[in-house]
Amino acid sequence: MIVLVVCLVASMVIAIVKLASTPEEIIGLGFRGLPPSYVEAHKHEYGGGEPAEP
């Protein structure tokens, strides 16, 4: 039981450090999982300026 608790605490610490040291938002203008056309069309939602022309 102690080993499980230690692993849980270790994984939580690792997650907190990774999230705190991420240089850009998880989902935002720097998110690379979306097509560039979608990011351009939704920039105004993230404070990136005017939306692109369709």
In a domain, 29, yes or no: yes
Domain that holds residue 50: 24-54
At residue 45, the pLDDT reads 75
In a domain, 45, yes or no: yes
In a domain, 48, yes or no: yes
How many folded domains does the chain comprise?
1
pTM for the model stands at 0.43
At residue 48, the pLDDT reads 57
In a domain, 14, yes or no: no
Q: Which of 33, 37, 35, 30 is nearest to 52 (CA)?
A: 37
pLDDT in tens, 1-40: 999 999 999 999 998 888 777 655 566 565 566 677 877 7
In a domain, 15, yes or no: no
In a domain, 16, yes or no: no
What's the Cα-to-Cα distance from 37 to each of 3, 23, 46, 50, rounded to whole Å?
47, 23, 15, 13
In a domain, 8, yes or no: no
